[in-house]
């Protein structure tokens, strides 16, 4: 692994141009596996199935036909591996395999010496009865081996993880990825924990809001690089979170060389957009839209959601996220061609572009 560097970007703009040669896929060519865990009955519960529900809604809006969903105790290491093997048999040359994970992530001792920091990253799957123990986790080494052995070499792969310690969960430096088209987007870096970012979900909501805004601008073909830039922008403007959203691709392949496959076929409204509309029409919301009340008065979305937890839960908003949402109302006003121009400026600004040859880890 040492001496071979994948492309890594952390919370900064990358090349968002369309440099992909392969066609944007038909929804029938997309194979999506969603894994989300709430860890019910453990000392570390989460509400990640809300993220899974939100990703399902996006996939349905995009017309995805092959979608598998695994929640909670279904997500044992063995079950997930078997489901990947089954889905791999349905993947063809120009298809996409997308793996989405929301749950706990962790670091563990590196067993084969391939990590410069001496730590492997791992997805925190559970035991058959929902037990949370290191014996049931899947390390980045095992995850990379599983995907590269089972998914056809010419199938395009996207890995998305909304969890802590997830920056390099795909281990895309490994030689087993050589020659493959694969991109990984993660909610934070290897060294960041859920305590830094409000227990997850912020990456997923930023991603979904970015997809809504890009497609509302009339753009239906765009690269993973552009979507990453928009996701970082939404995180910075809406949540102002401490998390660093990370992007990685293997040596010789760049994120703008892959078309983003999950493009809604009709009008798509992200959960955050639905929150804005619902809050505007709720008591105290002023009846306005887009984050503004009558006479231009601002709606305090965070306060409205805190006072109405049922509304937040209905729209897939975790209680832990609400304090981060101070900037949502005004941010919803960005849309259309102006939004695409904003993203172009964000990507073109020299001070915004930083290519990391190695992941910066602070233990």
Give the pLDDT score at 166: 58
pLDDT tens profile 246-258 = 999 999 999 999 9
- Which segment of 140-144, 207-211, 266-270, 324-328 scores lowest on mean pLDDT? 324-328
Full residue range of the structural domain in which residue 53 is found:
7-257
| Mean pLDDT value of segment 210-234 | 94
Give the pLDDT score at 317: 75
Judge whether 291 lies within some domain: no
Cα distances (angstroms) measured from residue 176 to each of 93, 117, 140, 149, 217: 18, 20, 13, 9, 38
Whether the per-residue pLDDT at 362 is higher than 70: the answer is no
Question: Average pLDDT over the chain, rounded to whole?
Answer: 82
Q: Residue 159's CB: how many other CB atoms inside 10 A?
A: 22
| Alpha-carbon 101 to chain mean position | 8
**Confidence band of 90 (pLDDT split at 50, 70, 90):** very high
pLDDT tens profile 286-340 = 544 444 433 234 556 677 777 877 877 777 777 777 766 655 655 665 667 778 8
Whether the per-residue pLDDT at 355 is higher than 50: the answer is no
pLDDT tens profile 29-84 = 999 999 999 999 998 888 899 899 999 999 999 999 999 999 999 999 999 999 99
| Mean pLDDT value of segment 334-349 | 73
Judge whether 312 lies within some domain: no
Give the pLDDT score at 200: 55
Judge whether 263 lies within some domain: no
The DSSP annotation for 177-190 comes to: GTT--EEEEESS-T
Give the pLDDT score at 135: 93
- Token pair, residue 98, equals 């997308």
Whether the per-residue pLDDT at 263 is higher than 50: the answer is yes
Whether the per-residue pLDDT at 195 is higher than 50: the answer is no
Q: Which residues contact 201 (CB under 8 A, 6 or more apart)?
A: 47, 48, 50, 51, 102, 162, 318, 320, 321
Predicted TM-score (pTM) of the model is 0.86
**CATH number, domain containing residue 129:** 3.40.50.12660
User: Residue 122: helix, strand or coil by DSSP?
Assistant: strand
Give the pLDDT score at 350: 36
More confident residue, 189 or 129: 129
pLDDT tens profile 130-174 = 999 999 999 999 999 999 999 999 999 999 999 875 556 888 989
Specify the number of domains making up the chain.
Answer: 1
Alpha carbon distance 77, 123 (integer Å)? 9
User: Pairing between strand 7-10 and 246-249?
Assistant: antiparallel
Give the pLDDT score at 72: 97
Closest CA to 276 of 332, 205, 321: 332
**Confidence band of 118 (pLDDT split at 50, 70, 90):** low
Alpha carbon distance 197, 164 (integer Å)? 9
Alpha carbon distance 85, 88 (integer Å)? 5
Give the pLDDT score at 192: 55
């Amino acid at each position: 692994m040492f001496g071979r560097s994948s492309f890594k970007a952390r919370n900064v703009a990358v090349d968002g141009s369309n440099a992909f040669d392969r066609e944007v896929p038909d929804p029938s060519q997309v194979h999506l596996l969603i894994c989300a865990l709430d860890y019910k009955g453990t000392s570390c519960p989460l509400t990640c199935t809300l993220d899974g529900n939100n990703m399902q809604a996006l996939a349905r809006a995009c017309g995805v036909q092959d979608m598998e969903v695994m929640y909670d105790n279904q997500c044992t290491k063995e079950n997930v591996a078997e489901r990947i093997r089954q889905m791999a048999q349905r993947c063809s040359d120009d298809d996409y395999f997308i793996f989405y994970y929301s749950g706990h992530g962790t670091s563990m001792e590196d067993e084969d010496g391939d990590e410069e920091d001496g730590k492997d990253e791992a997805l925190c799957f559970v035991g058959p009865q929902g037990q949370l123990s290191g014996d049931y986790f899947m390390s980045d080494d095992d995850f990379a081996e599983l995907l590269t052995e089972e998914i056809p070499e010419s199938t395009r792969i996207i890995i998305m993880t909304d969890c802590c310690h997830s920056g390099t969960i795909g281990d895309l430096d490994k030689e087993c990825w050589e020659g493959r088209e694969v991109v990984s987007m993660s909610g934070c870096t290897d060294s960041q924990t859920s305590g830094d970012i409000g227990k997850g979900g912020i990456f997923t909501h930023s991603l979904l809001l970015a997809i809504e805004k890009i497609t509302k601008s009339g753009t239906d073909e765009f690269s993973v690089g552009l979507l990453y830039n928009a996701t970082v922008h939404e995180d910075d403007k809406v949540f102002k979170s401490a998390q660093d959203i990370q992007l990685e691709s293997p040596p010789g392949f760049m994120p703008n060389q892959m078309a983003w496959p999950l493009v809604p076929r009709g009008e798509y409204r992200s959960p955050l957009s639905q929150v804005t509309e619902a809050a505007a029409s709720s008591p105290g919301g002023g009846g306005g839209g887009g984050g503004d009340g009558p006479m231009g008065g601002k709606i305090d979305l965070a306060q409205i959601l805190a006072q109405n937890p049922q509304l937040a839960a209905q729209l897939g908003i975790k209680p832990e996220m609400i304090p981060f949402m101070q900037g949502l109302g005004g941010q919803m006003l960005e849309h259309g061609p102006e939004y695409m121009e904003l993203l172009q400026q964000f990507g073109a600004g020299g001070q915004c572009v930083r290519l990391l040859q190695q992941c910066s880890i602070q233990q």
